[in-house]
Amino acid sequence: MGGTSSKLPKDLLSEYQELTFLTKQEILLAHKIFSELQGGENGPYSSRVSMQKILTLPELKANPFRKRLCHVFSTSDMKDGSLNFEDFLDLLSAFSDTATLEIKSHYAFRIFDFDDDGTLDARDLEKLVNCLTGETDDTRLTAEEMRQLISNILEESDIDKDGTVNLSEFQHVISRSPDFVSSFKIVL
Amino acid sequence: MCLRFLTVMHCFARSAQRRLQSSTQTSTHLHINTQTSTHLHINTQTSTHLHINTQTSTHLHINTQTSTRFAFSIAALINTQAVKRWSGVTGEFDPDQDGRARCRQQRLQQGGALTGWGLWRLNVHRSLKRLKEDGMDVLSSLQLWRADIHLIEGMFGTGILSYFSFLRFLVLLNFIMFLLMFVFVMLPMIITSHSAHNVTYSSSSNVSVCSEYLGSSRQGLVVFHEHITDLLSGTGFLEHTYLFYGYYKLEFIHSHFTYNLPLAYLLATVTYLLLSLVWIVKRSAAGFKRKLIQDEDRFQSFCNKVFAGWDFCITNENAARLKRSSLLYELKMDLEEERIKRKMANRTRGEKCRIYALRAALNLFVMAVLVACFYCIYEATVFSQRKQAEDQKSNFLLELVVEYLPSIVITLANFITPLIFNLIINFEDYSPAFEIRFTLMRCVFMRLASIGVLLFSLWDQITSCRNSGCPCGYNHQLYPCWETHIGQEMYKLVIFDFLIIAAVIIFVEFPRKIIVNYCDCGLVKWWGQQEFAIPQNVLEIVYGQTICWIGTFYCPLLPAINTVKYILVFYLKKVSLVTNCRPATRPFRASSSNFFFLVVLLIGLALASVPVIVSIAEIRSSRACGPFMSYNTSWEVVPRVVSQLPPSLCSFLQALASEAFAVSFFVITCLGMFYVIALAGAHKRVIEHLRDQLAMEGHDKRFLIQKLCQAQQAVYAHSPERRPPRGFRGNRYKAGMYLVEPLVELEMQV
């Protein structure tokens, strides 16, 4: 704190290195990008950047889950999806190369849980598929196909047959998905 | 049920305590609400977190549906060194400002609470870890082409990335092969040519007509275009250089010790084949494990596509749009495939007979096409050899065409046959996924078999003499030094392959991009922008690598040429990809593609080792050139050297090669295999068992929640003013609640 706006104190840097999955270079780069988003203000580390500004990042601009990402990682009391620097580091750490499968799958579950009720039910899954394929009418699956798809997903992943996918079922499915770790990655 | 809950929490607390290395005051803290009849406290005051005790540095909230498994996973996380994440260290997955501050405080306290020795150990541990991470950083930054591959990954996703990292792997493999041949074969010859060492040249036992070798070096005034022909086909001034086998005429180099060059040559060949095998198998082991797991449950394809379908690396808007459409396409295709499968299962017998008959007929047609191609390659090779032997001075271009005729025919065949296969597969009525794989297998077979046919026709030419029998064991009139000749053919194949790749990129892909951009007619729009077809590109480079493996024995500098070739191909492909291509509409999965590439490479290696082994062990080595002049076959150098070793070592090596040893080794390997198969079966059963347990956990939790609800209702029925506000995720009461682990402290503090 203090000094030029682009300096991250060494002790904080080593602490972040200890507590997240990011390397030193990644933390410094994240700090640089975050400072730019803050508009060059040398605010304390708890100052927040609004969701709109975060969404202008090139890594997130093209991501259909960007709003959900902000909501999941935000620790703001106002639930507006704003992130402070440590939230930002959380996000990057969960999406880094070295983060474990448990962490990634946990956050993936929360991102996909659109109504935040702790399970993925048919409505969540439908919203998820629509996010993936596109929002316009000609890029969606037909109602019949959606029904078939959701019933297939539930058949594959719902072990206790309650019609929803809970976290352990989700993690069970993810652990057998070989592409998950390589696709659940954000690189600055 | 409660008891099991207890023990789980207890286990977790123990491991958490171990990791945090702290005293009990800073570990988890809890309440036991004696007003409820159960031992579980539900804190409804805060909206998201449970601030039980603001002095503690850790607190947990656990979703009941995941409580037991979650606890185990947290315990597992905490016990591994890899726990980092705020949440992992503090045991909390929903940190907030206070949580993080508490985490920092806790670390400081940790540091303060420890004495000098403990503090020193902690610091050393931390700095070693940091050193290791920095070391890994440096190593990964030294990786070849890291920035370029990063860029490609960002623009096109992980499927195409796997092609380029495969190419990088091949560059490294070729470079290592070159180092091997250079150090053990070329370097001794270079040293002896520059310094005075006692050398023994290899010579055949009886000087006869077999030992005449003039080579095709040109005499007199050489026209410029003849130099070009020589450069492109390895004849003329290139023939008597380090490039080809025939130049290595030394047998022994006498210095402080005797260096046996033929032995070194042979062993270097065997080593590079074995090294390639080991390296490829090691690389594919990870992919193979994943593929086995994937194949276990083929019904998970929908979950994979939906949950792991979006590639978070994509930053380009265009690429994102295309990824979306490709996901849509994939999902539609999979759903359709499922419908087709259902339809196929309902086929009548008559329909089945008709389809099988059709498939048999089409397969016969495919085989006929393949045989026709192979025959063309054979004839082209024979014709080319004959024309080269006649050595008529004709037009420069015609000469080049004749030299390159086998390569041209192979390339044409490899261009036309995939089109035919793609056309035929539409009539065979397979499911879409199987169609793709089957066509690919046919293309792989075509590519690699064409090399086999070329080599067979060469071998046929070399070992057949016009008159009765071959006095030297090979056709010495046409091929006084047949190894150099094969080396030249392989050299030509490599050069031509590279020229074709470069020509296609420059003369087809770039104009296509320009035409598509500026021309608006219907046909052009249907042709569309270039798509980076990963399977075809991979087959191309595997083909090149197979030729390199075959040819290195005859042309020791071939790996170096191949390295340079692949480096150039990398840059050409990258430029073409970035400027001309759009992402594939049919995405190639990253995990299965890595495994597929390595399997095809292994097939290529297997195919390449057959001619090398046959020529080393069976064909009489030429008596006019090369290091094996005085031996019957190239392999003969090994028994001769072994017989000159001290008798104990000699008998030991002979015992290794005997039948008794081979049979017992085979039996032991079979036993090992049966053991591993049994182990795999046992693991499968354990997995089924764990799956059932997971289902039972869900039932347990539902039961607990019901009990909880009943207890709560009972409590609040007694004291209505304590009714909790509905704000805290009211809809979660039936689905899941946040519970704290109140019993943990009870266990620990007692």
> Model confidence over B150-172: pLDDT tens digits?
777 766 766 788 889 899 999 99
What residues 405-434 of chain B have any CB closer than 8 A to a CB of chain A?
Answer: none
CB contact at 8 A, B86 and B107: no
Helix-, strand-, coil-residue percentages of chain A, each rounded to 5 = 55, 0, 40
Q: How far is A178 from chain B (nearest CA, A)?
A: 6
What residues 145-174 of chain B have any CB closer than 8 A to a CB of chain A?
Answer: 150, 153-154, 158
Is residue B16 very low, low, confident or very high in pLDDT (cuts 50, 70, 90)? very low
The pLDDT assigned to B543 comes to: 92
Residue of B nearest to A161 (CA): B695
DSSP annotation of A165 reads B
Rounded Cα gap, residues B265 and B247, in angstroms: 13
pTM > 0.80: no
**Mean pLDDT score, B463-470:** 73
Q: How far is A142 from chain B (nearest CA, A)?
A: 10
The pLDDT assigned to B437 comes to: 77
Q: How far is B693 from chain A (nearest CA, A)?
A: 10
Contact A176 B300 (CB under 8 A): yes
Name the percent of chain B lying above pLDDT 70: 74
Show residues of chain A in contact with B731, CB under 8 Å: 117
Contact A19 B86 (CB under 8 A): yes
In B610-640, which positions are buried (b, 16+ CB within 10 angstroms) versus exposed (e)? Answer: ebbeebbeebbbbbbbbbbbbbeebbbbbee
3-state class of B366 per DSSP? helix
In A149-172, which positions are buried (b, 16+ CB within 10 angstroms) versus exposed (e)? Answer: bbebbbebbbbbebebbbbbbbbb
Show residues of chain B in contact with A182, CB under 8 Å: 158, 590-591
3-state class of B259 per DSSP? strand
pLDDT at B24 over 80: no
Contact A173 B103 (CB under 8 A): no
Q: How far is A39 from chain B (nearest CA, A)?
A: 22
**Mean pLDDT score, B425-434:** 79
What residues 323-352 of chain B have any CB closer than 8 A to a CB of chain A?
Answer: 324-325, 327-328, 331-332, 335, 338
Q: Which of B84, B132, B734 to mutate to test the interface with A (most CBs of A within 10 A)?
A: B84
The pLDDT assigned to A159 comes to: 76
Is residue B468 very low, low, confident or very high in pLDDT (cuts 50, 70, 90)? low
pLDDT at B183 over 90: yes
The pLDDT assigned to B104 comes to: 65
Q: Does B285 touch chain A (CB under 8 A)?
A: no
Contact B694 A172 (CB under 8 A): yes
- Give whole-number Cα distances, B475 to B2, B97, B487, in Å: 87, 85, 16
pLDDT at B46 over 80: no
* Lowest-pLDDT choice from B10-24, B211-225, B487-501, B650-664: B10-24
Most confident of B185-199, B259-273, B454-468: B259-273
The pLDDT assigned to B34 comes to: 33
pLDDT at A25 over 90: no
Residue that wins the pLDDT comparison between A101 and B534 = A101
State pLDDT tens for residues B561-619. Answer: 999 999 999 999 999 988 887 766 555 555 566 788 888 899 999 999 999 999 899 88
Residue of B nearest to A168 (CA): B66
Both tokens of residue B215?
Answer: 């080579």
Q: Does B73 touch chain A (CB under 8 A)?
A: yes
Cross-sheet strand order for the sheet of B258-260: B198-201, B250-254, B258-260
Residue of A nearest to B339 (CA): A148
Q: Does B477 touch chain A (CB under 8 A)?
A: no
Rounded Cα gap, residues B562 and B565, in angstroms: 5
The pLDDT assigned to B61 comes to: 37
**Mean pLDDT score, B324-330:** 78
Q: Count how many Cα atoms sit within 13 Å of the Cα of residue B113 in the half-sphere of its side chain.
A: 13
Rounded Cα gap, residues B182 and B247, in angstroms: 14
- Taking CB atoms and an 8 Å cut-off, how many pairs form between chains A and B? 217
Residue of A nearest to B291 (CA): A178
The pLDDT assigned to B742 comes to: 35
Q: How far is A155 from chain B (nearest CA, A)?
A: 9
What residues 590-609 of chain B have any CB closer than 8 A to a CB of chain A?
Answer: 590-592
The pLDDT assigned to A6 comes to: 58
**Mean pLDDT score, B459-473:** 77
Contact A149 B331 (CB under 8 A): yes
Rounded Cα gap, residues B465 and B477, in angstroms: 9
DSSP annotation of B508 reads I
The pLDDT assigned to B721 comes to: 56
Both tokens of residue A182?
Answer: 């390589």
Show residues of chain B in contact with A157, CB under 8 Å: 300, 303
pLDDT at A103 over 70: yes
Both tokens of residue B581?
Answer: 């291509």
Show residues of chain B in contact with A103, CB under 8 Å: 85, 87-88
Q: How far is B552 from chain A (nearest CA, A)?
A: 36
CB contact at 8 A, B362 and B424: yes
Is residue B732 very low, low, confident or very high in pLDDT (cuts 50, 70, 90)? very low
pLDDT at B84 over 50: no
Element (H, E) at B336: helix B317-345
Q: What is the largest CA-CA distance in chain A?
A: 61
Contact A168 B66 (CB under 8 A): yes
The pLDDT assigned to B686 comes to: 93
CB contact at 8 A, B626 and B554: no
Is residue B730 very low, low, confident or very high in pLDDT (cuts 50, 70, 90)? very low
pLDDT at B82 over 80: no
Q: What is the amino acid identity at position B582?
A: R
List CB contacts of A134: < 8 A, sequence separation 6 or more: A140, B321, B324, B325, B328
Show residues of chain A in contact with B82, CB under 8 Å: 98, 100
3-state class of B199 per DSSP? strand
Q: Does B293 touch chain A (CB under 8 A)?
A: yes
Name the percent of chain A lying above pLDDT 90: 14
The pLDDT assigned to A108 comes to: 92
Most confident of A58-62, B79-83, B114-118: A58-62
DSSP annotation of B577 reads H
pLDDT at B300 over 80: no
Residue B283 CB coordination number (10 Å): 18
Rounded Cα gap, residues B429 and B344, in angstroms: 10
- The torsion angles phi and psi of B606, rounded to 5 degrees, stand at -60, -45
Is residue B310 very low, low, confident or very high in pLDDT (cuts 50, 70, 90)? confident
Contact B699 A99 (CB under 8 A): no
Please name the member of A58, A99, A133 whose beta carbon is closest to the beta carbon of B328: A133
Residue that wins the pLDDT comparison between B24 and B102 = B102
Residue of B nearest to A95 (CA): B312
Contact A75 B154 (CB under 8 A): no
- Give bridge partners of residue B530 from the DSSP assignment: B581
**Cα pseudo-dihedral B318, B320, B323, B325, rounded to 10:** -70
Q: What is the amino acid identity at position A88?
A: F
Q: Does B688 touch chain A (CB under 8 A)?
A: no
Is residue B389 very low, low, confident or very high in pLDDT (cuts 50, 70, 90)? confident
Is residue B204 very low, low, confident or very high in pLDDT (cuts 50, 70, 90)? low
State pLDDT tens for residues B211-262. Answer: 777 666 666 777 777 788 888 888 878 888 888 888 888 888 888 888 888 9
Q: Which of B68, B103, B306, B706 to mutate to test the interface with A (most CBs of A within 10 A)?
A: B306
CA angle, residues A14, A17, A23, in degrees to nearest 5:
120
Is residue B314 very low, low, confident or very high in pLDDT (cuts 50, 70, 90)? confident
The pLDDT assigned to B327 comes to: 81
Q: How far is A156 from chain B (nearest CA, A)?
A: 6
List CB contacts of B94: < 8 A, sequence separation 6 or more: A75, B48, B49, B61, B87
pLDDT at A157 over 80: yes
Q: Does B589 touch chain A (CB under 8 A)?
A: yes
C-alpha gyration radius of chain A: 18
Q: How far is B545 from chain A (nearest CA, A)?
A: 28
Please name the member of A18, A128, A176 whose beta carbon is closest to the beta carbon of B306: A128
Show residues of chain A in contact with B302, CB under 8 Å: 149, 152-153, 156
**Mean pLDDT score, B421-436:** 81
pLDDT at A30 over 60: yes
Contact A141 B332 (CB under 8 A): yes
Contact A159 B133 (CB under 8 A): no
Burial of residue B426, with CB atoms counted within 10 A of its CB: 0-12 exposed, 13-18 middle, 19 or more buried: exposed
Q: How far is B655 from chain A (nearest CA, A)?
A: 46
Average pLDDT taken over every residue of chain B: 76
Q: Does B236 touch chain A (CB under 8 A)?
A: no
In A95-127, which positions are buried (b, 16+ CB within 10 angstroms) versus exposed (e)? Answer: bbeebbebbbbbbbbbbbbbeebbbbbbebbbb
Q: Does B257 touch chain A (CB under 8 A)?
A: no
pLDDT at A54 over 50: yes
Show residues of chain B in contact with A59, CB under 8 Å: 315
Both tokens of residue B654?
Answer: 């002979």
- Helices (H) and strands (E) in chain B — how many of each? 27, 7
The pLDDT assigned to B72 comes to: 34
The pLDDT assigned to B681 comes to: 94
Q: What is the amino acid identity at position B727?
A: G
Rounded Cα gap, residues B179 and B182, in angstroms: 5
Is residue A111 very low, low, confident or very high in pLDDT (cuts 50, 70, 90)? very high
Average pLDDT taken over every residue of chain A: 84
Residue that wins the pLDDT comparison between B352 and B178 = B178
Rounded Cα gap, residues B229 and B397, in angstroms: 9
**Mean pLDDT score, B355-369:** 92
DSSP assignments along B613-675, one per residue? HHHHHTSPPPSSSSTTTTSSSGGGHHHHHHHTS-HHHHHHHHHHTSHHHHHHHHHHHHHHHHH
Contact A187 B89 (CB under 8 A): no
**Mean pLDDT score, B41-63:** 33
State pLDDT tens for residues B270-295. Answer: 999 999 999 999 988 877 776 666 55
